[in-house]
Amino acid sequence: MIYLDYQATTPLAPEARAAMLPWLEGPEGIGFANPHSPHRAGRAAVAAVEVAREQVAALLPPGGRVVFTGSATEALNLAIFGCGAKSFAVSTIEHAAVLDTVEARGGACHMLACTRDGLVPADAPIPAGTGLVAVMQVNNEIGTIQPVDMLVQAAHDAGALFLCDAVQGAGKIAPPEQADMIALSAHKLYGPKGIGALWIRDGIELAPQIHGGGQEQGLRSGTLSPALCAGFGAAAALAKARMEQDAAHVEDLWNRARDLMAGWTLNGSADQRWHGNLNLRREGLDVARLMSDLRDIAFSAGSACASGSGRPSHVLTAIGLDAAAAKSSVRIGFGRYTKLSELEDACARLEAAAAAQGVYS
């Protein structure tokens, strides 16, 4: 299997796995202890959680605190429901974890449209009276990098807080320095699934959304998993240490794949983009057939339509593609552990499978 779906999830880094194992052991080891227990075993576990918190915080701006959650989705829910805002401005290309949560929260919502390149204009007007603006750092479908710093300024000028979904950018590019809240997810940066975090700038108070034992500074009750925290922390530390190296590797992969797929059209900006995301289309391509012909290559249909929901992707629609163009799009996602040879192999086979459909460049 050639794995090219790094936006859906990344492989677990061996270093993250190694950091997790001591906190899963029992009955002889003490790693299974509850990190909220006051005895020695519990104190050892909570110490591991706090080391992990610092490692995750090191990926984020200074002057804030990290609250562990079960996922980035939960972190975004905590921010949106917890901040007390009653009116919102969000980009049309946000993940469902933002769009559906704002809808569930209720209240006025102003949609910030993006260009055909998949970018929210840096000077997008924010309506006066907006309580919370949410724009993601890197789009998960097309990889475009949003002008977050300028949008934060516009939000602050309008008196609003700014929430950044940095799930696809964290550990890969510099954090959104000026944002008020930042959501991230371990499994998109080579950590384990089942843990995310919300970074909250000092001075911002949120209302808890999960009630109970008062863990996580009273904001997110529930027993933490030291193993998941340790895995997240180790993955974050590794991502920070390897950021340039990982980006250089991704750049090599991108350049080669772009050459090999020269007959395909890129969806979204080529420059303002995380280059581990290659979202491409070919007119007339039947993506469902392509996926069934290439079952041993894990890639994604560029459109939710082809993956079964029946609706074209809201992101591809937002950049102006019609349903047919959205349906003929694929997303190829690669990263730290992708070998050049396997990407070359996959590109050649995608090209041949498209040609077998009679779809030529």
Active-site residues, by number, are 305
Residue 196 found at the interface with ligand PLP (CB under 6 A): yes
State which residue, 91 or 215, has the beta carbon closest to ligand PLP.
91
Shortest Cβ 72–ligand PLP spacing (Å): 3
Shortest Cβ 9–ligand PLP spacing (Å): 8
Residue 185 found at the interface with ligand PLP (CB under 6 A): yes
Q: How far is Cα 155 from Cα 5, in angstroms, rounded to an integer?
A: 33
Residue 328 found at the interface with ligand PLP (CB under 6 A): no
Question: Residue from 91, 140, 225, 329 that binds ligand PLP (CB under 6 A)?
Answer: 140
Residue 101 found at the interface with ligand PLP (CB under 6 A): no
233 and 68 in contact (C-beta within 8 Å)? no
Residue with token string 């090599």: 252
Stretch that binds ligand PLP, among 164-172, 264-272, 285-293, 305-313 (CB under 6 A): 164-172
Question: Residue from 167, 198, 287, 332 that binds ligand PLP (CB under 6 A)?
Answer: 167
Residue 165 found at the interface with ligand PLP (CB under 6 A): yes
Shortest Cβ 138–ligand PLP spacing (Å): 7
Shortest Cβ 353–ligand PLP spacing (Å): 26
Shortest Cβ 186–ligand PLP spacing (Å): 8
Q: How far is Cα 198 from Cα 241, in angstroms, rounded to an integer?
A: 21
Q: How far is Cα 359 from Cα 361, in angstroms, rounded to an integer?
A: 7
Question: Residue from 48, 89, 97, 253 that binds ligand PLP (CB under 6 A)?
Answer: 97
Total site size for ligand PLP, rule CB under 6 A: 12
In the range 36-95, which residues lie near ligand PLP by CB under 6 A? 71-73, 95
Question: Residue from 77, 130, 146, 168 that binds ligand PLP (CB under 6 A)?
Answer: 168
What's the distance, CA 62 to chain centroid? Answer: 21
Q: How many CB atoms lie within 10 A of CB 157?
A: 10
304 and 82 in contact (C-beta within 8 Å)? no
**Alpha helices in the chain, H assignment, sequence order:** 14-20, 40-57, 72-82, 96-105, 148-157, 226-241, 243-260, 287-293, 314-318, 323-327, 340-356
Interface positions with ligand PLP (CB under 6 A)? 71-73, 95, 97, 136, 140, 165, 167-168, 185, 196
